[in-house]
Chain A
């Protein structure tokens, strides 16, 4: 197999389903073997880590590689040699902007961007988020929580919550007011809304979330 396609490698993973395979839930709590974690990451990302031959093309095209402590090539290498924990605890996975350049250019069709998603998901589940990435994670969690409550994004609510959480977390109250003038400018351009009536069915949204979000206990 000189150049396995993504679809054939996905099949070799046992036809991954939308829902995570049994046993996923245990991983976050119990002892984790690196091999099991690699397998789980491959299922989530629908790609094969072993196919990477370390050419470095992903890192060469990555727009944020310069601000990562290790670029995508190294992150994949750590997974290949069983040091998944290094990848899960890295700040790099949170610096990724999901531009998909890496996945589009990989000569071995490794879906590197999907690996970043899988690593982030596991990193959060296992409580291994890099302290430097807290602000990004705070934003994304606030975003999802906003959708759960509103069905559609309420920007004002998101910004208020994100800013207050970061300000409290970092004890920097100035963060709250950093973009205050921007809010006024948005308002002037009729771009800032305090919530709009929508036809979204919030009960359905709540049930979808309940089916997709595992308990965080």
Chain B
């Protein structure tokens, strides 16, 4: 055999470069990798949106809670107001009683002259 002939040499080269099929095992490995890759690339689904009326009990609870706090605060305010009013009235009564005592003493003093 001689490779001085170009055409013959190139024929041998084509045989040497002949493509070889890696077989069905290769195909399955590729398919497996593609399947795993496809699953990994799927973005996570956003949480499903619930119907609007599902939030109603929560909204109602929130309103009741806020309203309840406001009522308690109002009631305390009223109570404090009543307490203050009572204190003022008591102070006025005491003052008035003392003034009466002083008035009586002054009148007595004037009658004795």
User: Are these two chains actual partners, yes or no?
Assistant: no
